Amino acid sequence: MNPAELPFNADAMLNGLRTWVECESPTFDAPAVNRMMDLASRELVVAGARIERVAGSMGFGDCVRATFPHATPNVPGILLMGHFDTVHPVATLRDLPFRREGNRAWGPGILDMKGGNYLALEAIRQLARAHVATKLPLTVLFTSDEEVGSPSTRDLIEAEASR
């Protein structure tokens, strides 16, 4: 199958993304960020990834590194990176609940960055379903402190990027 012909389903994707948006994950609430990392980790494992949880530091939440099986695992590869911390405090959903009107949707973190992360994961799932292999090994790194400049994850980000 040509990757341009993958059967993305916007409604199904938005339903899956809703779960992520409704998992509030403000930067300075490590347990909340870790709940979001739990959700993403489960979906990554179901998609075929091997997960490594990297313990948070400096009071921030954990990070998740996911690697997907590849025919040539020990060569430099592709790094998809995103963050799950948001600027929205817990209880933002009371005033700004997830909602959809036609082709638009709203909710805390839906664009930055949960929507992008979900779309990346869905692309990985679609490629796997279509038996389309990436030319290089694929690693996904989700971090927990981007909204404040990545003080606790910079070294992890740099190490992964160097690979």
Catalytic residues: 85, 146
Sorted by sequence, the CB contacts under 8 Å of residue 114 that are 6+ apart come out as 17, 20, 21, 84, 86
Sorted by sequence, the CB contacts under 8 Å of residue 130 that are 6+ apart come out as 1, 3, 6
SS3 23: coil
The single-letter code of the amino acid at 151 is P
CA 130, 136, 138, 141 torsion-angle sign: negative
92 φψ region: left (φ > 0), alpha (ψ -120 to 50), beta (else):
alpha
Q: How many CB atoms lie within 10 A of CB 17?
A: 22
